[in-house]
Each structure stands twice: as C-alpha cells, then as structure tokens.
Chains A and B, each alone.
Chain A
Amino acid sequence: MNHNPNTNFKMSKSINIIKSSIVPLHAENVDTDQIIPARFLKATSRDGFGKNLFRDWRFENDDESTPKKDFVLNNPTYAGKILVAGKNFGCGSSREHAAWAIKDYGFDVVVSSFFADIFKNNALNNFLLPVIVSENFLQKIFTAVEADSKTELEINLEQQTIKLLSNSPSGVGGESFEINNYKKTCLLNGYDDIDYLLSIQSDIEQFEKTI
C-alpha cells in the first residue's frame, strides 16, 4: 500500500485483539440523536461526552438521579467494552460526538449487522471498531448473552474474525468480518488520515493546477 504517514501524530491507541464481555442493546435503527441528543453538543472539546451517552434512554425526565431501570446501561448484569446492537446502527446526523460518546463511555467495539455510512467513518476515525456481522450471528450473540451474561466476544482485527466465548452450549461460533484494507492498516498501526494527506500535500497542489 502506498501509505507512508509520518508517525509524529500516532494516535494514542492502535487496536488488534479485543476480548471482552458484552452490553446487548436490543434496538434497530439506533440514531445519533439517541446516542447523544443535540442539546449535549455544545462543548468545544472532544471529551466528556460519555456521561450523556443514550441520555434519554438512561434517565427519567432528564434527571441523572433517576436512571431508567430497564435500560441496559443501567443493568449491572451487563458490562464490557463491546456494544452489540440491531441493524442500521448510527443512522441520522453526522455528529462525530456519537462516536466520541461511545468511546468515552468505555466501548472499543460496536457490533451490528448494518451500520450507517457516516457513523462508520466517524467510528473508524476514532479507533472505535465497527464490526459488521451477519443477521444470524447477531441473533446468536443476543441469545448467548441472554443465556449467560458473562459471554465474551473475541475480535481479531488482523485476522478479521469475531468469536463467541460462552459457557452456554448455544453460545459458540464465530465468523469473519469485512473491513476496508486501508482502514485496517490505519487501526492496526495507529495511523490517522490527516498525517497521510499532509504527507502528500505536493500532490494535492499539483492536482489543483489541473482544475
């Protein structure tokens, strides 16, 4: 690959193997307004969005002292670095704050059978790995974690595999997932796109002369 960024701006974190228990979110079309409502977009820095992740699903009447008991983030049974959700995750607005909030809350991976385009890019740009699985495997994960909340997933980015590790008999299996090869290299090595683009600035200037 013709990709030779300078490494001065290496992101703090590269990713490869992630093994963790799961937080299952049984919802489809989870839009970015749910992930982080607009009224919390007023900050001018990238930090601290995690506390408002899924704000209106988490709290009664926008009051932090009254968590909604039936929402999964408020259920101590489930914890981990992997969020698993239904199809078309991250649809709606382009706000990168959604990816920041998920990452800031402590997730490193979101698993779904389908991601909205812009969200997927935003996640990748923040070293939050979106893993696309088949609808069947997604259901399998949900079933396994329901049977045994300690069920874990192991994701190997290099190999592009996702594996269920569970004590329940229904909870075994795995599959491979697709990821853009370029993005994979970035994630594995902690590169970011801006470094690369800056390194080819003279090509860009050359191109501008032709338009």
Chain B
Amino acid sequence: MSKTLFDKIWEKHVVKQIEGGPSVFYIDTHFIHEVTSPQAFAGLNKRGIKVFRPHQVVATADHNVPTLNQHLPIKEELSRLQVEALIKNCAEHGIELYGLGHPYQGIVHVIGPELGITQPGKTYVCGDSHTSTHGAFGSIAFGIGTSEVEMVLATQCLMQSKPKLMRIHVDGVLNKGVVSKDIILYIISKISASGATGYAVEFAGSAIRSLSMEARMTICNMSIEMGARCGLIAPDETTFNYIKGRPLAPKGELWETNLTYWKTLYSDADATFDSEIFIKAEDIEPMITYGTNPGMGIGVSQHIPSLNEVDAKEKTSFEKSLHYMGLQPGENIKGKKVDYVFIGSCTNSRIEDLRMVASFVKGKKKAQDVEVWIVPGSKQVEAQAKQEGIDKVLEEAGFMLRQPGCSACLGMNEDKIPAGKYCISTSNRNFEGRQGPNARTFLASPLSAAVAAITGKVSDVREFLN
C-alpha cells in the first residue's frame, strides 16, 4: 500500500494502539531546557522514579539566559534558579547538558541539527512548540507541554492521536530578495494562523527541494504558526550531506545502514493526503507582518488591508491588532519607522542567516537611531561567525553581536523591546507583548531585517540588490 512520509515514520514508532483512543508513541530523542522542565522533574521526584532513558535526553539552557557576559553568574535571581535547577536535575538523572559555557550550548532547535542529533525517520519532542524545526530532516518532531515532558522522561513515550495530513507544494523559482522565511510567512498569510491545526504538514515541490538545510529548517520551524502539529520535508542529498561528519551523526558502517533506510523516506507517488495546497514560488515577494499574529502578513510593497477588505467577523480583532501596532488600515507598510532590529531565534540565527546579513551590510552603516541586536543561535554559530570575520563586518556596520540564547524572541531575559517601540524581527511570533510589554513586532526575513537596519525603516530589499 502506498504511504506518506509521515505514515512511514509514525508506524515505526507506535508501541501500542489503544482501542478507540490514542497510540502509545515512542520518542527517540527528547530535548529539554530550563523553563518547561523543572515541574516535570518535580513530578518524577514525587512519584519516586528516575528518568527512564537518560541517554535519549539532551539538555541545554537557552530561553532564559543572558546574551551578554555569559561567563558571569546570572544576575536575575529567578532565571538563575531555573538554570541551576536544570544543572541539578541533569546531574541527578545522568542527562547530557550543554549548558552555559559549554561549546555546544545554544537554542535547542539550533543545536540538535548542528550536532547531528537530528536525523531522518526519527521522532523528537521538546517542551517548546518550535520543535517542528527538526522535521526539516524528514522526522516527526513536535512541541509538548510539561506534563508530557514528565511523561517522556518517565517512559520515553507519549499518548498521541494520529493527526490528519496536509501537503503544501511550493513550485518554481524564487524571486530576487525572497528567501525561505518569506515562503513560510506567505503560506501562513494565505491559510491563516490556524489553517493547519490538527494536521501534520509535509512541504514539497521544486522550490522546497532547492533550499539548503538551514532554509528548510526555517520553514518547518514556523509550521506551528499555522497551527500544524508538525512540519516535515522528505530527506534528500542536501539532508544527507548536511548530517555527514557532524559530531553525533552516525559514522562508518552505521552511516551506511542509516543512509539506506533514510533513502526510503518519502511519500509514495500515489500516497493520499487529507488536504493539498499548491503555491507558485513566483507569487512570493519579501514578506512582513503588520499585525499581532503571524498570519497577518503582506508583501512589503503592499498596503495593510483596509476595513472593507476584512471579513466582517474578523473586524474587531483586526482593529484591536492595528491599534496595538499603532498602524492604520489601508496604509503602506513600506517606510514605517523601525527602532530595533532583532536578528536571532531558532527561526533565523544560523550561520547562513548571519552570512546573508553580513554580505548585505558589508561596507554599510546602520541608521543612527536604530539599535541592532544579532544573537547567534549557538556557541558553534558564534565561533563560525568569528572565524569567517562576520563579527567584524557586523561591528563595522554598528550592529551588536551578542551571545547565544532565545533573547528577544520571547523577552524572557533582559533583552526586551521597550513599550511602544517597533522591532523588525527574524523570530517567529508577533503576539502582543511577545518581545516585551507593549512592544511592536514586524516579522521578516534576515535580509529584510538587514535592510531595515541600514535605512531605519521598513524597506524593500529588492531596491537595494543589484
């Protein structure tokens, strides 16, 4: 029988099917971090049990860590306590921790792939919704809550109902200045922030195939922003080449056996999906969001919808959203003043993102009244950037290169955007208050963020490319 990529992986991980209920679903690797794990460990202690498979758990500190002076003790007391709790829990249960100061430390969804932990055909969970990132390698990866973190720590399993399946094809050639972030912002703007709820989404088509691994991760990363349970892309040569030689990737004979299996991981030609969507790459221009959910995005040359373009039922929330953003219905987004530029987060903080920014800003200077924070996704990205001299290019442009962590993506540490200020951000969420109380967020690609840093305004990067 013909099968989808998702089916092939799913079936291999069902321990037991409960009649009329969910499946007992096996998890290969469980990523944990300091914010959503302490209560789960407390739960284990209360039950008097140990972590079931400590070697299948990987820990890092990322959500709450400072991005300056990481060698010093964390100043903020509660943040410090969370990080200390993680250290203690990992030590007690024999879990590998890539904590502050470790050369592998970084945002959980950046370090998994770069260390070679993320591989095709496997299952991954983490107490963080952007776990969907790892699906770019052709795996099933999704975010879970803390009770489920406890469940996986205790048994390496979850109770899961199989989601419906959607496939989104993106075919054709991308326009100049358009990168993978624009693809995913475009898709979400078309199907809305809840358009894929209840689905696992496979991304396919020639435009997806042509993307690098890091660009594919950006797409799967944001599948949660349209409500999807997870996103995935069939592995191919690009995937295999990326994994090969990474610190924790299989080696020698094991590599060969894995590779043979990985090559069977694709949706069969006649496999069926519950829903299919077709998108032309040529239709996509550099995207930017104007509202307070990631579905409120437009091409940078377009205007914010006017009131009569909005569905009657959506009007109230649309107006509330624009009010929060300090924007008017029907006005152009291009030319809007920007106060902060944040280039970082598990969506766009990898080495290719920094290279993209550096090659654009080389020899240019940031606008005077703009503050630019570049937060690499991991210690390894940071080291690589320094090795390539990217840090110098950014410094000369007046950008500040900080240390790895989630930072202003969720404003949990001190990296917050002040109330009322506008930030163009390469992260994934523009919710009210996400980057700090009353902060206003425009989501965009690293390239669009870089051009805004230079002009101080929302700008069309295509006008600056030759």
Which residues of A approach B to under 8 Å, CB–CB?
Answer: 1-3, 9, 26-29, 31, 33-34, 37-39, 41-46, 56, 61-62, 86-88, 91-97, 99, 114, 116-118, 121-122, 125-126, 180-183, 192-194, 196-198, 200-201, 203-204, 207-208, 211
Name B residues whose Cβ lies closer than 8 Å to a Cβ of A. Answer: 12, 15-16, 18-22, 24, 26, 35-36, 38-39, 42-43, 47, 49, 52, 63-64, 78-79, 81-82, 85, 127-129, 143-148, 150-151, 154-157, 159, 161, 193-194, 197-198, 227, 229, 293, 314, 316-317, 320, 410-412, 429, 431-434, 437-438
Q: Is there an interface contact between A29 and B317, defined as CB atoms closer than 8 Å? A: yes
Q: Are A181 and B15 in contact (CB under 8 A)?
A: no
Given known A-B contacts A182-B18, A193-B151, A204-B157, A46 and B432 have beta carbons under 8 A apart: no
Query: What distance in Å separates the Cβ of B145 from its nearest Cβ neighbour in chain A?
Result: 4
Task: Chain A residues near B36: list those with CB within 8 A.
Answer: 94-96
B144 A118 Cβ-Cβ under 8 A: yes
Contact of A126 among B43, B144, B147 (CB under 8 A): B147
Cross-interface CB contact of A33 among B24, B143, B432, cutoff 8 Å = B432
Q: A99-B145, A118-B145, A194-B150 are in contact. Are A56 and B432 (CB under 8 A)?
A: yes
- C-alpha gap A193/B146 in the complex (Å): 13
Q: Which of B81, B150, B155 has the most CB of A within 10 A?
A: B155
For the complex, what is the distance from the CA of A43 to the CA of B47, rounded to whole Å? 20
Contacts A33-B434, A200-B24, A204-B24 hold; do A116 and B194 have CB atoms under 8 A apart? yes
Name B161's contact: one of A3, A122, A180 (CB within 8 Å).
Answer: A180
CB <8 Å contact, A94 and B431: no
B143 & A197 in contact (Cβ 8 Å cutoff): no
B314 touching A28, Cβ below 8 Å: yes
> In the bound complex, do residue A117 and residue B145 qualify as a contact, i.e. CB atoms below 8 Å apart?
no
A182 contacts B20, CB within 8 Å? Answer: yes
Q: Which 7 A-B pairs have the closest CB atoms?
A: A182-B21, A96-B145, A42-B78, A122-B145, A44-B38, A125-B147, A94-B143
A31 to B52, CA, bound (A): 33
The listed residue (B159, B317, B433) touching A28 by CB distance below 8 A is: B317
A121–B20 Cα distance when bound, in Å, is 17
Which one, A29, A41, A181, A196, contacts B194 given CB within 8 A?
A: A29
**A59 → chain B, closest Cβ, in Å?**
10
Q: Is the CB of B22 within 8 A of A182?
A: yes
Are A197 and B24 within 8 A (Cβ)? yes
Q: Which of A46, A95, A200, A203 has the most CB of B within 10 A?
A: A95
In the bound assembly, the distance between CA atoms of A43 and B39 in angstroms comes to 9
Q: Is the CB of A207 within 8 A of B15?
A: yes
Chain B residue contacts of A118, Cβ below 8 A: 129, 143-145
Query: Contacts of A126 on B, CB cut-off 8 Å?
Result: 147
Q: Contact between B26 and A200 (Cβ–Cβ < 8 Å)?
A: no
Closest to B12 in A: A211
Q: Which residue of A lies closest to B80 (CB)?
A: A42
- From B26, B78, B146, A204 is in contact (CB under 8 Å) with B26
In the bound assembly, the distance between CA atoms of A1 and B19 in angstroms comes to: 6
Contact B145 A1 (CB under 8 A): no
Contacts A29-B293, A94-B143, A118-B144; is A2 near B150 (CB within 8 Å)?
A: no
**Cβ contact within 8 Å between A88 and B155:** no
Cross-chain contact B38 with A117 (CB below 8 angstroms)? no
For B412, give its contact among A38, A121, A180 (CB under 8 Å): A38
Contacts of A194 in B (CB 8 A): 43, 47, 147, 150-151, 154-155
Given known contacts A29-B193, A204-B26, A125 and B148 CB-to-CB distance under 8 angstroms = yes
- Provide the residues of chain A in CB contact with B314, threshold 8 Å: 28
Residue of B nearest to A56 (CB): B433
In the docked arrangement, what's the CA distance between A162 and B234, Å? 43
Q: How far is the CA of A155 from the CA of B49 in the complex (A)?
A: 36
What are 27 of the A-B contact pairs (CB < 8 Å)? A31-B429, A33-B410, A37-B433, A37-B437, A38-B434, A42-B79, A42-B81, A46-B42, A56-B438, A91-B227, A92-B431, A94-B129, A96-B39, A114-B197, A117-B229, A118-B145, A122-B145, A122-B146, A180-B161, A182-B22, A182-B159, A194-B150, A194-B154, A196-B159, A198-B154, A200-B15, A200-B16
A109 → chain B closest CB, angstroms? 18
In the complex, chain B residues whose CB is within 8 Å of the CB of A182 = 18, 20-22, 159
Bound CA–CA A88/B196 (angstroms): 11
Nearest CB in chain B: distance from A122 CB, A: 4
Contact A96 B24 (CB under 8 A): no
Chain B residues within 8 Å of A28, by CB: 314, 317
Q: Which residue of B lies closest to A9 (CB)?
A: B47
Q: State whether B411 touches A38 (Cβ < 8 A).
A: yes
Q: Which residues of B contact A201 (CB under 8 A)?
A: 52, 155
Contact A43 B78 (CB under 8 A): yes
Q: Are A193 and B159 closer than 8 Å at their CB atoms?
A: yes
Q: Is A198 touching B317 in the complex (CB atoms < 8 A)?
A: no
Q: Contacts of A197 on B, CB cut-off 8 Å?
A: 24, 151, 154-155, 157, 159
A62 to B147, CA, bound (A): 29
B147 touches A96 (CB 8 A): yes
Expressed in whole angstroms, the minimum distance between the Cβ of B52 and any Cβ of chain A is 8
Q: How distant is the Cα of A9 from the Cα of B150 in the complex, in angstroms? A: 14
Residue among A34, A116, A117 making CB contact with B432, cutoff 8 Å: A34
Contact B19 A2 (CB under 8 A): yes
A183 to B161 CA separation, bound complex (whole angstroms): 11
Q: Cβ of A95: which chain B residues have Cβ within 8 Å of it? A: 35-36, 145
